Amino acid sequence: MIAATAAEWTRKDLTAIEELSPSEIGAVFAQADVFKPLLESREKLVSLHGQTLVNLFLEPSTRTRTAFEVSAKRLGADVISISGNASSLVKGETLRDTALNIRALNADMIVMRHSAAGAAAYLARVLDIPVINAGDGAHAHPTQALLDAYTLRERFGVGPGRGIEGRRVTILGDILFSRVARSNIHCLTKLGVRVTLAGPPTLVPGTFAMFPGVRVVHDLNVALEGADAVMLLRIQHERQTTTHFPSLGEYTSMFGLNRERMGLLAPHAIIMHPGPINRGVEVESEIADDPARSVILAQVNNGIAVRMGVLHLCAHRSRRQPEQ
Ligand code: ASP
């Protein structure tokens, strides 16, 4: 019932998309394809039976934390969730000590969200159990990028003349402070997608154009013209120490997605958002809710199968040396 792709997967951890090859990304998709049809049955699998997964979330989360919890439970694991203000980190314990203690309590896997870039990669080196990055500062959110690419692949199909290679995806909004944008840039370009980054120059610096396959466009009309998908991003107020545009109203009038601007997209274009949505700011409410165009809730749902895939692969990895 469970695919054999784990035999090809050698990674203990998933901390950033940068480290994955296109075939490893394909292995996650293949594994998610196995799990997705099983979700309907509400049946529990045995992949992680007897294992304990600790969800260590030191920054707020709704979707990602719940999706990891649901995914791990569907795979048969026990799940313990720890949040920042309820852990001994607030009493001065280091992250390393917290993690070593969680390990000593027989945890088999840790999923971690942290405000510091590199925190998950650091723990992955300290611990001998899988560490999955659920977001580290503005750096990376690898499972979000995987579920986004999986959703694009699902919508655009697979096979000759279909698929996501060569498709045009515009990522619009606060690119500078977005870990979702960074992980998507790596993931989508590895899969041959043509990525446009759009938003105000203060939030989308020209330096992002150094990524192969990426263009930076500050004129929204140009950025949206003919795009197959638009990935909207919220302004990451919690990471900004200075203001990057005069007011939210001005941001919306210059860069918000509205009905008129939708007309610039390809006729089949889809609207994506990692959530949480700030309705009326980056997108008009009726667009976010448009059943013909918006795949926002499909992304959330795909997050279960994709995260099941990642957890399964890391737990059942082959012990060969990882690809460099
Ligand atoms: N939920 C995503 C994240 O954790 C996007 C966001 O918060 O805007 O990065």
Count the neighbouring beta carbons within 10 Å of the beta carbon of residue 240.
Answer: 15
Please tell me whether residues 115 and 132 are part of one structural domain.
Answer: yes
Please tell me whether residues 135 and 36 are part of one structural domain.
Answer: yes
1-42 tens-digit pLDDT: 454 456 589 999 999 999 999 999 999 999 999 999 999 888
Residue 224, in any domain of the structure? yes
Residue 9, in any domain of the structure? no
Q: Which atom of ligand 1 is nearest to the CA of 179?
A: 9
CA 280 to chain CA centroid, nearest Å: 23
Please tell me whether residues 134 and 146 are part of one structural domain.
Answer: no
Please tell me whether residues 209 and 229 are part of one structural domain.
Answer: yes
Residue 8, in any domain of the structure? no
**What is the Cα–Cα distance from 204 to 175, expressed in whole angstroms?**
6
How many structural domains does the chain have?
Answer: 2
**What is the Cα–Cα distance from 207 to 242, expressed in whole angstroms?**
20
Q: Return the half-sphere exposure (C-beta side, CA atoms, 13 A cut-off) of residue 295.
A: 23
H or E stretch covering 200:
none
Residue 216, in any domain of the structure? yes
pLDDT of amino acid 205: 94
Residue 152, in any domain of the structure? yes
- CATH, residue 204: 3.40.50.1370
39 alpha carbon to ligand 1 midpoint, in Å?
Answer: 25
H or E stretch covering 214:
strand 214-217
Task: Check if the beta carbon of residue 236 is closer than 8 Å to that of residue 177.
Answer: yes
241 alpha carbon to ligand 1 midpoint, in Å?
Answer: 18
Q: Return the half-sphere exposure (C-beta side, CA atoms, 13 A cut-off) of residue 147.
A: 31
Residue 322, in any domain of the structure? no
Please tell me whether residues 310 and 216 are part of one structural domain.
Answer: no
User: In the sheet that 78-83 helps form, which strands lie side by side, from edge to edge?
Assistant: 78-83, 52-57, 109-114, 131-136
Please tell me whether residues 147 and 221 are part of one structural domain.
Answer: yes
Q: Which atom of ligand 1 is nearest to the CA of 178?
A: 9
pLDDT of amino acid 241: 81
Please tell me whether residues 47 and 183 are part of one structural domain.
Answer: no
Would you give the end-to-end CA distance of the chain in angstroms?
30
Residue 3, in any domain of the structure? no
Which residues sit with their C-beta closer than 6 Å to ligand 1?
Answer: 135, 141, 179-180, 234, 274-275
Please tell me whether residues 82 and 163 are part of one structural domain.
Answer: no
Please tell me whether residues 85 and 206 are part of one structural domain.
Answer: no
Instruction: Identify which of 65, 111, 234 to mutate to test ligand 1's pocket (most ligand atoms within 8 A of the CB).
Output: 234
**What is the Cα–Cα distance from 211 to 272, expressed in whole angstroms?**
22
Find tokens 């309590």 and name the residue. 105
275 alpha carbon to ligand 1 midpoint, in Å?
Answer: 6
Please tell me whether residues 249 and 273 are part of one structural domain.
Answer: yes
Residue 1, in any domain of the structure? no
Instruction: Identify which of 143, 147, 180, 296 to mutate to test ligand 1's pocket (most ligand atoms within 8 A of the CB).
Output: 180
**What is the Cα–Cα distance from 276 to 180, expressed in whole angstroms?**
12
182 alpha carbon to ligand 1 midpoint, in Å?
Answer: 12
pLDDT of amino acid 4: 44
Q: Which atom of ligand 1 is nearest to the CA of 64?
A: 1
Task: Check if the beta carbon of residue 157 is closer than 8 Å to that of residue 163.
Answer: yes
Structure tokens at 126: 């300290």
What's the domain range around 123? 22-140+301-315
Please tell me whether residues 62 and 123 are part of one structural domain.
Answer: yes
Percent of the chain with pLDDT over 90: 84
Please tell me whether residues 114 and 224 are part of one structural domain.
Answer: no
Residues 6+ apart with CB under 8 A from 100: 126, 127
Low-confidence residues in the chain, pLDDT < 70: 1-7, 158-161, 320-324
pTM value is 0.95
47 alpha carbon to ligand 1 midpoint, in Å?
Answer: 28
212-263 tens-digit pLDDT: 999 999 999 999 999 999 999 999 988 888 888 888 999 999 999 999 999 9
Using CA atoms in the order 205, 211, 216, 222, what is the torsion angle rounded to 10 degrees? -170
